[in-house]
Every structure is written in structure tokens, then in C-alpha cells.
Amino acid sequence: MQRVAVIGLGPIGTRHANIYDEMEGAQLAAVCDIDKERADALAKVLKVPAFYDVPSLLETADLTMASVATGGKEYGSDHHGPTMQALAAGLHVLCEKPISNEIAPAEEMVALSREKGLCFGVDLNHRFTPAARLAKRWVDEGRVGHQLFMNMAMWIHNPRESSEWFQIKALHPHTVDIMRYFCGDIVEVQCFGLKAPGRSIYSTAQFNMRFASGCLGHLTGSYDIERGHPMERCEVAGIKGRFVIDDMYREATLYPAGEMEKRVYSNPVFGGMRDFEDTFRDRLGRFVQQLNEGARPEQIEASGEDGLQAQKVLAAAIESIQTGKIVAVR
Ligand SMILES: NC(=O)c1ccc[n+]([C@@H]2O[C@H](COP(=O)([O-])OP(=O)(O)OC[C@H]3O[C@@H](n4cnc5c(N)ncnc54)[C@H](O)[C@@H]3O)[C@@H](O)[C@H]2O)c1
């Protein structure tokens, strides 16, 4: 049983706290925000103690893990402090994406989790769906065969303008993680960005990538389109077959090469995912389940290392926009 504190109580941290509160295998033990009103308000609803700084939380509460849902510049600069403090105190940590908006702090977080032998996961929730798990099984069973190309796309509306690189750093941890989940490490990136009317950031971008396996990758993403219609599509093609996942959990279709019958998984009406929030339930639940089963740090799905590797791909994409060149992922 995990005793969890949620640190950072904006809309996303509040969601985390509510999910742990209802989760079997975990007990919400405390909430923490430097904004006292936010912390007190949620603590009152969920009937847990409120803390207003991480050191007091760690000194006082009896915890096994922390869920860090702070934000900051480019949605990621505030994750480093609480994550390092929680790891130093011996807690397992699940951190929101992006792991950090900069590479160096992300490397420190991953290094400290390794040094301490603690489990460190990132909330790369878009791959935590039954449809994505099934598609992963298709890959592992050889139904796709030798991989040829992967096309990934995601578009939502986010009017914030944290920095010129906000969309690339904050939206695409999700898409790049899905790409790496199915096709492995990415070694080279070329990227074009555009600033939509009225925006000062590269709010839409298109990336070409090469995977270590030789497979070719393409990614399109945008912060410029209102939500409502489908918002995410993933296609992986190999010599033996091709699959498409629509909207993370709605539908996964396998098209076996040379056969005229396709295989379709549809999100079931009974017991299926109800909405996007269920991807958080699945991801947070899986982290807790892995901890309760005694998983080793290197077995954690969507780990800190995965979060770091995604940001390295995105750093290469940004360098590509700046230089107009193809950039190796370092
Ligand atoms: N996984 C997803 O699908 C998804 C979706 C949206 C946002 N996010 C991520 O969730 C995170 C939070 O987003 P949000 O919109 O809730 O942000 P927010 O800015 O509204 O809330 C962050 C909260 O963290 C608090 N905070 C900052 N530093 C702190 C510290 N050291 N100790 C305690 N509290 C601290 C702030 O006071 C604030 O209340 C971001 O990193 C964002 O990228 C993830």
C-alpha cells in the first residue's frame, strides 16, 4: 500500500489527488502547495493534512511516494526542486511531464533516482490505454514485422505563451514517448515550426525523425486547434502489417499486409475508458501497482529515463529550427 503526497495542486495535481483518494493500493496521505489557499481548500475536501512547503511535508508526513504536479516555465521548471527533495528523502516519485523544461535538471533527477535506487516515473499518460497496450502486443508478436515508418499527430488548443518553445517542450513529451514506445530510440531529428496568427511561439510544428532501427518517423503537432473532434492519431507500418490508433483509447486497427480482413479493437461501452481523465487513472494506477508488486526502478514503465530521452529529442528539434539543419539526438 503506497502512502502518497501530491505536490502542486493546480488542475492537474487536484486530479492526481482525487485519483489517489479513490485508488485501491494507495492512500492519499497529504497534499502540498506553496499557495496556502489551494492547499487548504483541497485538504478540506479530501480530509487530509495540508502542507505549504515540501521540506515540512517530508519531515512530518509518513509517505512512500510523491506525485509531483507542479508546473512553472514551459510547464516544467518547477518539477526539479520537489522531485529532488522527495527522492533525497527516500520516496519514489511520479512526476508530471515534461520531466523538466531543460535537459540538465532532468538528468540530475534521473541520476538521483538511480543513486538512491528509487522508482521514478513520468506521467506520460497517453500510452496508458488498453488500445496502446494491444498495439504494443501486436508489435511484440511480430504482426507489424520489420518497421518502416511511424506517423504521429496530436493537436489541442493551448493559448498560453510560456516561451517560444512551449508547444514543442510541453506538448510533445507525449507524442515522442508514444513514438519511442512503439519504435524505440530516435537518433536524428529535423523540425519546422510555425507561429499561428496572433501567436509569438512556435505553436505548430512538424518533425522528421530517424529511429535507431532505421525506421522513419514523422510527427505533427499543434496548440492552435480547439478541442472537440479527435485530437491524436498514431500509425505504425512494417513489412507484415500496419496499425492505427485513433485518439489514444477509442480504436486500434491492425491491417495485416496481404490480407483483406482487418482487426479492430473498439473502446467498450461497458468497462471501457470514459474520457481523457481515465488515462491518468490508468497511468497513476500502474505506477502504484508496479510499486506494490516490488518492481525494480529499471522496470518502471514511462520512467524518468523515458521522460529525459523525450526531452532530448525535443531539444534536437529546437536546435533544428534554430539552425535549419538535421540534428543528432545527444
Ligand atoms: N499528463 C497530462 O496529460 C497533462 C495535461 C496537462 C498538464 N500537465 C502537466 O501538469 C503540470 C501541472 O499543470 P497545472 O495546469 O495544474 O499547473 P498550475 O500552474 O495550475 O499548478 C501548479 C501548482 O504547483 C504549485 N507549486 C509550484 N512550485 C511548488 C513547490 N515547490 N511546492 C509546492 N507547490 C508548488 C503552484 O503554486 C501551483 O498551484 C504541468 O507540468 C503540465 O505540463 C499534464
Residue 146 CA to residue 5 CA, distance in Å, equals 44
pLDDT of residue 229: 85
CA–CA separation, 106 vs 35, rounded Å?
A: 25
Count of H-run helices and E-run strands, the chain: 9, 15
Q: Give me the pLDDT at residue 297, please.
A: 98
pLDDT at 55: 98
Query: Coil, helix or strand for 262?
Result: coil
CA dist 150 → 214, 222, 263 (Å): 11, 18, 19
- The burial of 82, by beta-carbon neighbours within 10 Å (0-12 exposed, 13-18 middle, 19 or more buried), is given as buried
Of all protein residues, the one whose alpha carbon is nearest to atom 43 of ligand 1 is 75
DSSP string of 132-158, one letter each residue: HHHHHHHHHTTSS-SEEEEEEEEE-B-
Nearest alpha carbon, ligand 1 atom 18: 10
d(CA 99, CA 115): 18
Is residue 160 lining ligand 1, measured as CB closer than 6 Å? no
Contact 255, 242 (CB under 8 A): yes
Low-confidence ranges of the chain (pLDDT < 70): none
Q: 65 forms bridges with which residues in the sheet?
A: 4, 92
Residue 92 φ/ψ, nearest 5 degrees? -70, 150
Q: Which of 14, 32, 74, 75 to probe ligand 1 with, by most ligand atoms within 8 A of CB?
A: 75
CA dihedral 290, 88, 27, 288 (to 10 degrees): -10
Is residue 81 in contact with ligand 1, taking CB distance under 6 Å? Answer: yes
Q: What sign has the CA pseudo-torsion 319, 323, 329, 330?
A: negative
Distance of alpha carbon 143 from its chain centroid, rounded?
A: 26
List Cβ neighbours of 279 (8 Å cut-off, separation of 6 or more).
Answer: 125, 126, 128, 129, 248, 249, 273
Q: Measuring CA to CA, which residue among 305, 231, 284, 9 is closest to residue 123?
A: 284
What does the pLDDT read at residue 235?
98
The beta-strand segments (E) located in the chain are 2-7, 26-32, 50-51, 65-68, 92-95, 120-122, 147-155, 186-194, 204-211, 216-222, 232-238, 241-246, 251-256, 263-266, 327-328
76 lines ligand 1 (CB under 6 A): yes
Q: For residues 136 and 139, what is the distance between their CA atoms, to the nearest angstrom?
A: 5
Name the nearest CA neighbour of 120 among 282, 308, 276.
308
Pocket test for ligand 1, best of 6, 12, 74 (most atoms within 8 A of CB): 12
- Rounded to the nearest whole angstrom, what is the distance from the C-alpha of residue 211 to the centroid of ligand 1? 31
- The residue type of 119 is C
Query: Is the minimum distance from the CB of 247 to ligand 1 under 6 angstroms?
Result: no
What pLDDT does 269 receive? 95
Mark 194-210 as b/e (b = at least 16 C-beta within 10 Å): eeeeebebbbbbbbbbb
Q: Judge if the beta carbon of residue 78 lies within 6 A of ligand 1.
A: yes
The Cβ-side half-sphere exposure at 144, using a 13 Å CA radius, reads 24
Ligand 1 site-directed mutation target among 68, 96, 123, 249, most atoms within 8 Å of CB: 96
Q: Cβ neighbours of residue 302 under 8 Å, at least 6 residues apart?
A: 121, 122, 123, 124, 127, 128, 177, 283
pLDDT on residue 162: 85
